[in-house]
Amino acid sequence: MHKLQDLELPILNIEGKEVGTLTLNKEIFDGKVNVALLHQAVVSYLANKRAGTASTKTRGEVKGSGRKPWRQKGTGRARIGSIRSPLWKKGGIVFGPKPRSFKKKLPQKMKIGALKSALNAKLKDNEILILDNLSLNLPKTKEFFKIIKNLKLTNLSLKFIVAELNLNLGLAARNIPKTEILLAQNLNAYDALNCKKIIFTKEALTIVENRILKYLS
């Protein structure tokens, strides 16, 4: 585990060798983790991903005649007013789902605060890595998997955070299970938490730090 007073992380190359160190911004990596805010951000993110398109038909929407099947009294059978009754097979559904929005709005400052907490949580758990650069000349899955092996991260859920999305990189990584490549400008608290290791390029980390500093003032 990294000491919070010592905010230096090693910089690795794609061969897994240390090529320098990087000093993290103390305003961002201050060791504070707001669990309640993280919970709000994760709930909001997952709710906003829901389509809300589930729909069932009520008795007024299912097919069927509106005629009373048999007379009210004298048959010995239970009284019934319509074959579209919810009590009958193929009848309407009572209190079933209807299309609706699950959207939960969260102020931008709270989203950024949650991202800051997520990064501090990752740092505490020693789950942040820094790369000097990340690129491929060819869209080969084998080449990208070699980078993961060099970093000793095989069989882990990984998020690679880059400043610009290289087409070769995206094509090479898409067939590797539990591995995603994200743009630094799109990183959120949920994505930061939802992996075992989060790997930044130097440039990407600078972009994320600048995003957070903008809302800290």
pLDDT tens string 38-89: 999 999 999 999 999 999 999 999 999 989 999 999 999 999 999 999 999 9
Per-residue pLDDT reduced to its tens digit, 5-37? 458 899 999 999 999 999 999 999 999 999 999
Backbone angles phi and psi of 129, in degrees to 5: -125, 150
Residue 4 pLDDT greater than 90, yes or no: no
Res 61: pLDDT: 94
Contacts of 14 (CB under 8 A, 6+ apart): 131, 133, 134, 147, 150, 151
Mean pLDDT in residue range 83-100: 95
189: exposed, middle or buried (C-beta count within 10 Å: 0-12, 13-18, 19+)? buried
- CA angle, 2 then 180 then 154, to 5°: 65
What pLDDT is stored for residue 1 in this prediction?
46
Domains along the chain with CATH numbers: 8-50+104-216 (3.40.1370.10), 51-101 (no CATH)
